[in-house]
Amino acid sequence: MLSPEIEEKIRVFVADFAPDVYIVSMLMDFGAKNAIRVKVDTDAGIKMEEISTLNRALGRWLAEQDLIEGDYGMEVSSPGVGAPLVLHRQYAKEMGRILRAIRLDGTEAVGFLSDVTETYIALTPEKKKAKDPDPEPLIVPFTDIKEAKVLLPF
């Protein structure tokens, strides 16, 4: 586990180096090889070249700062397609896509992400038949969401 001080220094470095990039998650993975794993994104979706550039820069910076003892690897990546949404700001870029939200009580809400506010998301279910009236959106408060993922089309 990275100390809060080191995590904050990494966050500041990323914000200064690439202002459009935000950190979704960060962890120190202890195993056969110790590795720092940083998941990043942008509001428009991150590109591979941005990830690669940030990976090299962050790796150099960490080596220069000598913040972490011992040998470790460095991995910067995007959360990936189908990964759970973690941060509020991740929802806005998924507008119009089909989302599955699992509530704290275990029930599911599925529909097109039609609204994102500070306190809730709205999921509009798919129409059963074209002639059916538009369904009412399901309002899911962020405080009720255990996990939310974008569903990929088959």
The whole-number pLDDT of residue 1 equals: 67
The 3-state DSSP class for residue 125 equals coil
- Residue-wise pLDDT for 91-138, tens only, equals 999 999 999 999 999 999 999 999 999 999 999 998 888 888 889 999
Compute the half-sphere exposure of residue 56: CA atoms within 13 Å on the CB side of its CA. Answer: 5
- Residue-wise pLDDT for 15-70, tens only, equals 999 999 999 999 988 777 788 999 999 999 999 999 999 999 999 999 999 888 88
The predicted model scores a pTM of: 0.83
Query: Which residue ranges form the domains of the chain, and what is each CATH number?
Result: 4-77 (3.30.300.20), 88-150 (2.30.30.100)
The whole-number pLDDT of residue 66 equals: 87
The whole-number pLDDT of residue 29 equals: 80
- Four-CA torsion 80, 86, 92, 98, nearest 10 degrees: 60
